[in-house]
Amino acid sequence: MQFKFLLADDDRDDQEILMEAILQDHPDTQIHTVFNGQKVLDYLAERTPAEWPSLIILDYKMPVMNATEVLERMQHINIPKVVWSTSNQPEHMQTCRQLGTVKYFIKPNNRAELKAMVQELFRICGER
């Protein structure tokens, strides 16, 4: 099974770290990146549902639209969504869960945590 991920994060370094870990685990994964929440909505609007990703990964704090604003507009879209963030604020986590995220990850501090997160991302896709 080939996976397609949509990764939204305004930090290019964070994008690269996560993309490298994903591709190390599953080299055939397609990853499309965007830098803000509005671009997530634009990406989906420009494609048919058959072309949509298998998973959407949102940074919590992004310009234009943060993760909760994007999630509010995507509640009708049947794609698993996860948030990854430096924020461990309980209210952020709760709001994202209420808006349909499958998982809220705190951005990993080391390779072992990153590898565990990536494995969880693929587990989530496999449950679809």
How many CB atoms are closer than 10 A to CB 30? 12
The domain total for the chain is 1
Mean pLDDT by 10 residues, the chain (128 residues): 93 97 95 97 96 97 95 94 95 96 96 96 83
CATH code: domain of residue 31: 3.40.50.2300
Q: What share of the chain is helix, strand, coil (3-state, %, to 5)?
A: 45, 20, 35
Structural domain harbouring 42: 4-126
Fill in the DSSP letter of residue 36: S
Half-sphere exposure of 125 (CA within 13 A, CB side): 21
pTM: predicted TM-score of the whole model, two decimal places = 0.96
